[in-house]
Every structure is written in C-alpha cells, then in structure tokens.
Structure 1
Amino acid sequence: MTPKKHILFIGLFVLSLMTFGQNSPKAKALLDDVYNKASSYDNIHIDFTYALENTEANIKQESSGNVTLSGDKYLLDYLGAQQLNDGKKVYTVVPENEEVTIEDISEDDNNITPSKMLTFYRTGHNYAWDILQNVGGRKIQYVKLTPIDSNTEIKTILLGVDTQTKHIYKLIQTGQNNTKTTITVNSFKTNQPLSSKLFTFDGKKYEDEGYYIIRN
C-alpha cells in the first residue's frame, strides 16, 4: 500500500471519530455523544498504531503515526510521509521520493480525509450495537458499521468507543478481500498549544531542497 493510500485510510479513521449510520438507537446515542465531545475541542492530537493483516496472503505489517486537527485543518505524519491541509489546499510530502503533491480542496472529492470528519457522519453506513470489552479497566463498546454502498471495498468497520471518555479507542476495518486493518489510539490529547505556523506549508523550503513539486 502506498503512503498516499495509507493516508486516506488514516483519514477514514479520523473521520470515524464522527461517523455513524442509520439503524440502532443505542449506537446512534453513543456516537452522538462521540460527535458532540469531539466537536467541543479546539484541537485534537492523536498518536496511533496501524496494523494491516491478511492471513491468506501472509501479510502482516505494523507501524505508528500521529495526526493533529483543528477545524478544517490537519497535519498527519505517517510512514515517513506528511499530509497538511491548510484549509485551502492539501500538501502531501513524501521525502523518500523527494516529492510534494499540491491539490485543491474539492467539495466533490469523495476521498475520505481528516478535514471531512464533521461532514459525513450521518450517511453511508448501517450500524448495529456490538460487543463490550474490558481493556485494562476501560469499557470499550463496539459499534458495527456496514457500508450502504454494496460496491465498496469495505465489508465492515468495528468502531470501539471508550464509554467513559466518549473517545474512539479502536477501529477495525475488514475488506471484501478479508484484509483486516486496525488502528488503535495510544494517546488522545485535546486543546493543545499549537504553533501559529503548524498548518502553514513552506513551499520554498522544499524547492530549495530540490523536491519535485506536482500541482494537480
């Protein structure tokens, strides 16, 4: 999986801070609480672990990353790559390729990214109340989401919510090819002091370093 595809999936995870479907009243009430809690913060910083597994294909990968969000802006660091949304454009920096891709933000773009976490939470899935787990003394309630679109590559998503904090603890996505992708939150920090330049892209820096700039 390329860094950009990985980034899109991390976007799905952050989106899932707010995502729910249209069936179980209990699931709706819980995820409404998640939505309201996350919406109350000025910013959110998440450190996470990402695991990809397909036993049939003998694939097992694990890595870590972090994302900081504030309103429509975000900064994502993962697999040595970085994606920045400054509210106007999205910049994807891949140092391994010495490449920067600059794209306009499009309301018609169907890609799920962190900046859309407040806009897609009411559509796209059917959901059901699932299992309750005890994880180190924390009660994690899972909600099972099934995409309404039968053509999607996603079979199911299990979303684990800490019932006390109302924060997302884990996302487990199973694909139609039985590939299981798991994101586990290692830390969830809110209202952190952020640099005024955190969401500012320094194009000159990358030009001076000889990066290839792709403008889409």
Structure 2
Amino acid sequence: MKKKTVLMGMVMFGMAFSTMAQTKTPVGSLGQNDPKAKVVLDNVSKKFKSLKSVIANFILKVEGANNSVTDSKKGSVYVKGPKYKVIMGEQEIISDNKTSWTYAKDVNEVTINNVDQSNTSMTPAKIFTNFYDKDFLYRLTGESTEKGKVLQNIELTPTDKSKTFFKVLVDVDKKNSTLARMKVFEKNGNKYTYEISSFQPNGAVSDDLFTFDAKKYPGVEVVDLR
C-alpha cells in the first residue's frame, strides 16, 4: 500500500509541497519576488476562495530523466472548502477535514487517518490558494497560447534547498485566473506534470461525497491508524 499511497499523494498535488523543512534560507538573501507574478498568483487564490466548490479533471504525467513519458494517468478532484475527494484509477483519497480515508479498490482496503491540521500540510484546496508566499521565490517568465487560451507562465523556486525538487513551472489561464498546469522538476531528473483538463466552478457537490461509507464497500478491510 505504501507505493500506491505515495502515488495518490502526488495526485493531490501534495508531492511537491508537502511538509516544509524547519530551517529555510531567508527569502531576502536569495532574491526578490516578481510583483507581476504575485498579482497573477494572488488572482488565482482570490478566484478560488470566492467559489463554493470546484470539480476538476486532470492528467498526471510522469517523465523519466531522458524526457520520455513513463506513465500517464487521468483523475478527478472535488473540493468544497477544506474538504476534498481525489479519484484516480482504482484509488481514492477522501477528507472531511477531520478524517482522511485512502481506499484501494484492487485490494478492497481503506486506511483511515486523522487530518494533519498544521499549516505545513498540503491539500488540493491549498494548491489553488496562496501556498507560494512563504516557501517560494517566483517570477513571471512570459505568456504562451495553447488551444486558444493565453497562459501566464510563472517559475517558482523553493527557498528550502534541501527539497527533492528545484523548480516548479505554473501556467495560469489569463482569462479565468485558474490553474491550468503545474510541472515539478526533481533533482534526480524526473518531472511530474499535473494538467487540469477541465475546471467546473460551483458544481453540485454533496457533503456526503467527503466521507467514506464502509457499508457501500462489502468486505472492505479497514486499517484504522488514528
């Protein structure tokens, strides 16, 4: 289960930004943030915070050091305030902001944990908000056009140089101020691209979606780690 849990963690966009180290280099000693990039990122955060819910589909692409695509998977994420549900293949991660459930359909097993309430934990909701201000330097590198959409391109560099990744590229839909794509560059040469294929604001999302009902999964094995 450990390997699958790590994979789903990446799907939640937490792989790149999970638990920051305690010791960081002061931002001022590394350089200054680009005010133009901050405006773009702040608009994304403001837009997301104004929504009651979000339903998004995404594609996760994993590339090896030789730039060949070694894996590609589709998934969906549902977000309502701090609550979320991520579905990819035969796996799901569900959280009501108090309890989290990680379900593996292939083995019919669910692992239950308490939600980490610390500010350092990363969730799908946080990736759309101002996760960038304290832990990254950022700059606007330009604009590009894809499929008729103008994307604002931003490069983020972690202030904690002990992280396994050294750069994150973020593309923002200029018209809608929504996250379109994020690409994480690891020091070992691997790259992880999270591409939002559809983004539905204020979609109908029931609170029942953010809890795991074992009665609906006959014979499920429960691993309670709380």
Classify the TM-score, shorter chain: 0.7 to 0.9
Match of 1:113 among 120, 123, 144: 123
Unpaired runs of 5+ residues, structure 2, are: 18-26
Unpaired runs of 5+ residues, structure 1, are: none
Q: How far does residue 180 in structure 1 lie from its aligned partner after superposition?
A: 0.8
Query: What TM-score, normalized to structure 2?
Result: 0.84
Residue 213 of structure 1 pairs with residue 223 of structure 2: yes
SS in structure 1 at match of 2:46:
helix
What is the match of residue 198 of structure 1? 209
Q: 1:5 to 1:111 in 2, by over 3 A?
A: farther
Residue 12 of structure 1 pairs with residue 10 of structure 2: no
> Any runs of at least 4 consecutive aligned residues in structure 1 with deviations exceeding 3 A, and if so which?
13-16, 55-59, 108-111, 115-121
Q: 1:13 to 1:103 in 2, by over 3 A?
A: closer
Could you tell me which amino acid in structure 1 is paired with residue 177 of structure 2?
K
**Any residues of structure 2 matched to 1:47-66 within 5 Å, and which?**
47-56=57-66, 60-66=70-76
Q: 1:119 to 1:106 in 2, by over 3 A?
A: farther
RMSD, aligned α-carbons: 2.5
Match of 2:136 among 119, 125, 138: 125
Question: Contact 2:112/2:222 (CA < 8 Å) preserved in 1?
Answer: no
1:104-138 deviation digits (Å, cap 9, x = unpaired): 01223844222544573421111111131110221
Q: What is the total number of aligned residue pairs between the two structures?
A: 211
Question: Contact 1:8/1:113 (CA < 8 Å) preserved in 2?
Answer: no
SS in structure 2 at match of 1:87:
coil
**Any residues of structure 2 matched to 1:16-27 within 5 Å, and which?**
23-27=33-37
What is the match of residue 149 of structure 1? 160
1:172-194 deviation digits (Å, cap 9, x = unpaired): 11101110111111100011112
Aligned partners of 2:66, 2:15: CA distance in 1, in Å? 28
Identical positions, percent: 26
Query: What TM-score, normalized to structure 1?
Result: 0.88
SS in structure 1 at match of 2:203:
coil
